[in-house]
């Protein structure tokens, strides 16, 4: 198990070194990128929910209109 501890220490040191080496402009750019990705994901999620609700509503409307129409045989 000492190897696992050494690997985690190396990863942590690399992450800290990388983050310490970023300038303010790079931090702002990274933050903007993360906000953009988060916005995309939230919009996609709610568009999918809206699409599901719209499909259910259309199915319900089609089901109700089919029930109201008399059954006529198609020749």
pLDDT tens digits, 17-55:
888 888 989 989 999 999 999 999 999 999 999 999 999
Which CA distances in Å does 32 have to 4, 24, 58? Answer: 34, 12, 38
Which CA distances in Å does 52 have to 11, 19, 43, 48? Answer: 43, 41, 14, 6
Under the banding of pLDDT at 50, 70 and 90, the label for residue 69 is: low
Task: Look up the pTM and report it.
Answer: 0.57
Tell me, what DSSP letter sits at residue 64? H
What lies within 8 Å, CB to CB, of 30 at 6+ separation is: 22
Least confident of 2-6, 7-11, 35-39: 2-6
Which has the higher per-residue pLDDT, 63 or 66? 63
């Amino acid at each position: 198990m000492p190897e696992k501890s050494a690997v985690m220490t190396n990863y942590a040191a690399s992450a800290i070194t990388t983050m310490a080496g970023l300038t303010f402009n790079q931090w702002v750019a990274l933050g903007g990128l993360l906000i953009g990705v988060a916005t995309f994901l939230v919009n996609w999620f709610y568009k999918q929910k809206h699409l599901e609700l719209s499909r259910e509503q259309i199915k319900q409307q089609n089901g109700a209109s089919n029930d109201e129409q008399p059954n006529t045989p198609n020749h």
